[in-house]
A and B are shown apart, each in its own frame.
Chain A
Amino acid sequence: MQDKTDKLSWPEAVRVNIRAIRLLASKNKLLFPYAVLKALMDTVSTYLSIFLMARLIGELAGERRGDVLIFWVLAGILSKAAFGIAGGLMYHAYEIRSALFWNNMKRIEDEKFLSMDYCDVEDQKVRDLYDQICQNANWSGWGFLKIHWNFQDFVRNSFSVIGAVGMSVGLFTSRVPEESGLVFLNHPLTALGFLAAMFLTALIAPWQEAKNTEKRASLADSARLGNRLFSHFGFMSHYADAMAEYRMYSQAEIAEYYSWKEKSFLVGGVFDKYGKGVGGVRAAVKVLGEKLLLCTIYLFVCLKAWGGAFGIGEVTQYVGAISQLVLGLTAFLSIANELRVNAGFVKKIFEFLDLPNRMYQGTLTTEKRRDRKYNVEFRNVSFRYPNTERWALKNVSVCFEVGNKLAVVGENGSGKSTFIKLLCRLYDPQEGEILLNGVNIKKYRYEEYMAIFSVVFQDFWLMAHRIGQNVAGSCDVDEARAVKCLEDAGFGERLKELPEGLNTWLYKDFDEDGIQISGGERQKIAIARALYKDAPFIVLDEPTASLDPVAEAEIYQKFDAISGDRTAIYISHRLSSCRFCKEILVFEDGGIIQRGSHEELLAAPGKYRDLWEAQAQYYEKAKQYEEDKKYL
């Protein structure tokens, strides 16, 4: 994955930002309007204060009429209070929306993950792209967060610049009296010269800031690596799963070595070097730019005031307004540039959000058949995972008979799981086709096709939510059916013990009173969910790997009841499971090398017999056992 944060051109950056703001605005209702209103209130309040203060000072420097003074003081504090309250209302309205910004941002990504083809969810390239997006956000909020953080300031500073210009027009138009000896100040060229000087000096700070932002963005790779090392090695020793091994293998040593391996943020790292070198100079030059601008402004204001063009009150007003201008302009240009750099990061997010769904989706509906006569056929199917050379499945042809109980066996990595993933259309094969009742499965609507499978994957997932909802996979639970399915799966007795029954929470994530369940119980709930779905095909992938012999035997005994008249597929390393399946598929190197009943396959030499004997030898009485003794 290449991390080019190429600088975007201004027009493109603007386009990207506008697209992002529109997307974010649609997910965060009223967030941006309130931000604008708040910024407007702030600006008006600031300039009104400056204006009123200037009048007060002017009066103080002049006639000092008591009632007039009181008037300006009251006007000042009243307007401040009024705007304080109005601004506060806007602020809180904005914050209420802003509280969910991060959530809504994640939601956008989540929706993408939900709508993506599964093969893309699993694709390493997609995951790397997504990780990069997350790391950019974690490191400095690059991406949508930056837009959120900067939007209000961006608007405020643009208002501020406009307001300041409006309030300092008089500085240029008011004329110095002839007798002061500074008449040259009245010449339009002088005003122009000062304007030009102000403009040029005003550019220094944003220019330095821009260079700095670009430099920081260009160090993103190092920053991300540093953060990944930091969060991986710095915090590992706290994981409950890691603690025993940490001690037995003195893993602290290796973690310490790696924690300090990359210096990125540390002394001597890229950021440190930059801060002490060019970055430090830039920081100083930036301040220099700001002060030069201040000098220019004060010089012009002082000269004109000294020459008598305006009074002390106006001096306060111009100095106040122009200080705001300096701040506003610097900030405005810096933020604009930061948003331009950020557009590169936002573009990455859109690259992710715009990933196309490449899987062809047909429009056919599957027939709803009560007799469950669904035939599935693999015809010369070959498949390899994206970005790999090796064929995970090679030229597989197989046809399932309805209602058959099928066992799938083979060594690790022989293609069993891939076979199931293709069957459930989590992936499409590159060659060959898979047919349902004679029609290529791609031609069916995806959800319709998915509806005919109930699968309990080896790494199945249950939500930390109520048992009933987990079984139903929905907020609406058909309670009688859920209980029936849990009973069929062997969870019935435990269910009776639970005071809240179906409403019991699993785990503690959602509710403090949630229960912890054992591996065997989890397995049973997952099977109950598969039963609740009541699909014509049921697939169980290694359901007993972590169970003890008694729990394992329980699942075996239930298998017939569980599968009923469905077509059942059972994958396991425990070949004992083959005994209750009518037919066995033996996988090796991505192909089906044997097929038949247990007795047939055992009768002839072959892979299945090897596998079977490897395991069964230990359980066969007397004869075999004596041989082992000899071996030992």
Chain B
Amino acid sequence: MGNFSQLVYLVPLFPLIGFLINGLFWKRMPKSMGGIIGCVAILASFIISLGIFFEVKNPAFQVEPKVLFDFIKSGDFYIPFAFQVDALSSLFLLIITGIGFLIHVYSTSYMHHDEGMVKYFAYLNLFVFFMLLLVLGANYVVMFIGWEGVGLCSYLLIGFWFKNRDYTNAGKKAFIMNRIGDLGFLVGMLLIIFNFHTLSYHEFFDKLHNSQTIVPTSTYNWIAICLFIGAMGKSAQVPLYTWLPDAMAGPTPVSALIHAATMVTAGIYMIVRSNALYDLAPMALDLVATIGLITALLAATIALYQNDIKKVLAYSTVSQLGFMFLALGVGAYTTGVFHVMTHAFFKALLFLGAGSVIHAMGGEQDITRMGGLRKKLPVTYFTFLIGVLAISGFPFTSGFVSKDEILMAVYEHNKLYFYLAAFAAVLTAIYMFRLFMLVFMGGFRGTQEQEHHLHESPSAITIPLIILAVLSLVGGFVQLPHLFGGHDYLNEFLAGAKIPAYVHEDASTAMKEMTLFGGTVLGLLIIFIATRKLFAVKQFDGNYTGFRKVLANKWYVDELYDAVFVRPIEALSNFLDKFAEKKGIDGVVNGVGKTVKWGGDRLRLLQSGQVGFYIFIMVLGIVVLFTLSFFWIK
């Protein structure tokens, strides 16, 4: 065995170098060269990540943080820039660099006509760099660096076509909403420092196991909730989810990589990483489960009536992330990670497929103007179908295995939550099949010119689709239930990072699993027939009325936030600027100034040359000012 884990610093270093080359020489770099540099950098990271993965798989592997250099040191307050390789981080390394590489390759074709292609690859490499820091950090500060760094890249890439005002608005919204979450993360970190005097994972978790008597449960709950607020922002959970659908303004491969497969799962990574904390914070866990469930349901209902292909997938992502948090909330940490993995496969596949469709349609994203594309785009059609089956939970696809595991875990925990989650899963299948039928089946509803130009995408696009389709099909086998002759390999692997699995197999399990299995098959059959009848059509009206209009308008949450937060803050700012500042404080100061001048003028007439009077009145003025401000504060 080689010593790949000693070379872990290379994993983020390659994308950083790729970023620097493309970023510094973006003006002179030929487009194709920029693409090659971007891809090679990620491929190199992927190879090392593979080596690390196999090393970590070895039971003899020892987890130890590697300090690269001192980051912040002040007295006994010490935060090193340190990495930690264990099962959890190595799995995320594979997802990030593996899927990242496929999406980079895809982008070389997708972004080929864009004048900013080299800049695009620079940003994309920078994103991978920060994402790798996020999962490799050995303490919360390094995680936070990656955390805000990926947010920055997300901001830059959402507003990549910066001439469009709406796009830059979307980027800004994403950044600011994430900042709200980040404040929660920051307060969480400060609470940890306050109570445990460390931010290193292993020291913190060791202290958690030893100090239960000293720190009250409420403190654990507060820390866990604050960290979870951070996760709400990054992973688009209620109430901080509205930035993600807007983030679809970015290029489609970006949506696949950042807003589906990797960055938005950072919140799940954070909670799984902190599982020792969350196990001591039952209230926080309940909150995680509830928020996850609400998000899963809310986003699924909205996805039912969206007409933009990327918006459907965006709400679907929000909903699936909700499922993951639901799993974490019932203590099924490995299940959450498992769904992160399978979701990365099929959602990246679906987004890239959508990109291929948009590409073929000449930039069209409205599914009411598509239809019948299966003949013209056979590879896209077939791989997209696999993605739809996987996310809908068709038996033995990756999505089936992971979603079943979530539902089983929830069933043990809370029956009501189970039924609601199952309902959300049904909605998932409905909106996905609706999307599929509207795009690929029925008759073409676009313009003749669009129809004329329809063509299958080049191999740089189709090959990643095929690889992801295969992964979406077989990815579930790492954790197939024993009932179907499988084994929980993933749980065993993650046990190396001290992540507890949710063990639910007993005598009654087989019965429940068979019921779930049968229900899924039957349900999908009904949904298939129904959506085929409704949406595989020649004519389709995408205008909704009544309650469906409420859903199509996303429950008017954006409008609500605008009325409750944005406009009041603007009004307050205007009040402070126009009134408090100019009339209030400045008015007092100018008044004092004028009084001094006036008084000076008058006094000069009486006793010219007496400087003392000026000073006296100035001091008097200050006392007045001070007294005023003093009473204002109290």
The reply to whether chain A is a binding partner of chain B is: no
A: residues with CB less than 8 A from B are none
B: residues with CB less than 8 A from A are none
